[in-house]
Amino acid sequence: MLLQSFAQNHNAPPARSGYSMAYDANRGVIVLFGGQDSASVKLSDTWEWSNGIWTPINIKGPSARLNAAMAYDSDKETIFLFGGSSMSGLVNDLWTYDGKSWSKLNTSSAPAPRQQATMAFDKSQSQLLLFGGMDRAQNFGDTWILKNNQWTQINVNGPTPRASHCMAYNDDLQAIFIYGGYRDSALNDFWEFKDGAWHDFTNKSEPERLHASISYDQARRRMLMFGGFNNQGRINELWEYSNKKWFIIPPDKGEKPDARAEHRSAFIPGRGLFVFGGVIGPDPNTRNLGNDTWLYNENKWIKYN
C-alpha cells in the first residue's frame, strides 16, 4: 500500500519518521511524540492510541524534535523522554509525561547532546538505562543510568559505539537487551545488560539491522523485532528471539505491513505488537512516510487505519 493512501487517514497522526513512542501500562495507552514529517519539518505534537482510536493531546511539551529516546518507568507510572535533534540542534534535556502534562526535569551530569540513542526501564533495579546515539562528529558507546532523576555514567565494557539500534527490557530475564544499529555499516550484534554489566549474546543467526524496532512479549516469553534497514534496503520481516535463538516468523497469508524503518513498536499485553508509520518501502533511495497502524497477535497482522 502506498503513501498516498496513508496520507488520507485523518484519524491518525500525520505521516512521520523518527518519532518517540512508549506504552503506558498504568493507563493502557500508546503515547507518541514528535518526529519529522514528509517535508522534513520537526514535530512537537503528542498523541495517544487506545482501543483502535488515535487522540491528539493538546498540551505544550518538549520542543519539536526527532530521534529522541523514550521509555516508560513503571515504578513512577511516568514516561521519560531524552534528547534528540531539535530546531536549534542536538539537545540533552529530560522530560516526563504523566498523561496530563509534560514537565522538564533539571538534572546534573547529563549525557552529551545526541540523537538516535535508546532508553529502557530496568524493573529489577528501578532505573532507566540509556546507551549510545550520535552527534554530528561521532557515535557514542557510553552507558548511563537515570535514577532518582539524576544521571550517572557507568564505565563498563560493552557494545561498540553506535546509533539507530533498538532496545527492550526482558521481564523474565530481568535484563535490558540492545540489537544491531549502525557504525559504518549495519550491525547484527545482540547484547544483554544485567547486574551492572554488558554481556554479548550474539550468535550466527542474527540479521544485520538498523532503524528496526524491538519489543518484549511477556505472555509468550519472546522478543519481537520488526522491520528496519539492512545493507540492501528496508524490510518487513518479523523475527522472534526465544530459547536463546533468533528465527524469522513466516508471514501469514493476510495483509501485512509494508517494509519500513525509522519506526517504533511497543507490546500491548493482551493485544499484541503495535507498529506505527515510519519510512515506507524497500527502496533505499526513496523516503515515503506512512501513518498506518498495525497490531500483530495470534500470528496475524491487523490493520487499524
Among all chains, which residue has been given the C-alpha cell 500470528?
299
What residues does 48 pair with on adjacent strands? 31, 55
pLDDT at 7: 37
DSSP bridge partners of 53: 50
* Collapsed DSSP state (helix, strand, coil) of residue 91: strand
Rg over alpha carbons for the chain, rounded to the nearest Å, is 18
Q: Which helix (H) or strand (E) holds 153?
A: strand 150-154
Q: How far apart are CA 299 and CA 278, in angstroms?
A: 22
- What is the Cα–Cα distance from 191 to 200, expressed in whole angstroms? 5
**Residues in a beta bridge with 216:** 223
Residues 6+ apart with CB under 8 A from 292: 1, 6, 9, 12, 257, 258, 276, 277, 303, 305
Specify the pTM. Answer: 0.94
Exposed e or buried b for every residue in 78-112, given b needs 16+ CB within 10 A? bbbbbbbbbeeebbbbbbbbeeeebeeeebeebbe
Q: Which amino acid is located at 27 in the chain?
A: R
| Structure confidence at residue 10 (pLDDT) | 53
* Predicted local confidence at residue 270, as pLDDT: 93
CA distance 86 to 81: 13
The superfamily CATH assigns to domain 3-303 is: Kelch-type beta propeller (2.120.10.80)
What is the spatial distance between Cα 246 and Cα 223, in angstroms, rounded to a whole number? Answer: 9
User: What's residue 13's pLDDT?
Assistant: 97
Residue 11 φ/ψ, nearest 5 degrees: -90, -15
Per-10-residue mean pLDDT, the chain, length 305:
37 96 98 97 98 96 98 98 98 98 94 98 97 97 96 96 98 96 93 96 87 96 96 94 91 91 97 97 96 94 90
- Residue 286 · residue 259 · CB < 8 Å: no
Phi-psi region of 222 (alpha: psi -120 to 50; beta: other; left: phi over 0): beta
Q: Where are the alpha helices (DSSP H) in the chain?
A: 3-7
> Cβ distance 96 to 103 under 8 Å?
yes
DSSP notation for 186-223: EEEEEEEEETTEEEE---TTPPP-BS-EEEEETTTTEE
Question: 174 near 168, Cβ under 8 Å?
Answer: no
Helices and strands in the chain: count of H runs, count of E runs? 1, 26
